[in-house]
Amino acid sequence: MSKAPKHPSQRDDLKRRDDEGGPPCSGYPSHKPPQAPEPRAETALYYFNLRTEDGLVDDPEGEKYPDLQAARDAAMAKVRGMITEGDQIGENRRSWCVEVMDKANQTVLTVAFSQVLDRKAND
């Protein structure tokens, strides 16, 4: 006596699709509530101008950050990278600084290379 293979019912099929995260079959509502879109943080545009002994190098494009602290962290990272680059080519950049400007072209923060070098020496 041979048994006929079992076929899952439509209810089992819907359950399996929901368990696997797939969409419900057409005509059947999902058991999960709709997800609200994630709130987007407001961002501000900041320009990172470089001041050297030879003058000012403007940042024509700028970058967006959620707040001034994030822009400061980015400026510190940029300064550390430029210090490393200067060390590799034997260039003293101690007198340089990055001037962080807002979209109204007002200086909101200055990060001196000497400040970062002094911190690096104390670590």
At 44, which helix (H) or strand (E)? Answer: strand 44-52
Matching residue, tokens 């058991």: 31
Please give the Cα distance from 13 to 28 (Å, whole number): 12
Q: pTM (2 decimals)? A: 0.63
**Predicted pLDDT at 42:** 80
pLDDT, tens digit, 9 for 90 and up, residues 48-66 = 999 999 999 999 999 999 9
Q: Which two tokens stand for residue 47?
A: 């320009």
Please give the Cα distance from 32 to 68 (Å, whole number): 39
**Predicted pLDDT at 116:** 85
Q: Which two tokens stand for residue 65?
A: 């950050």
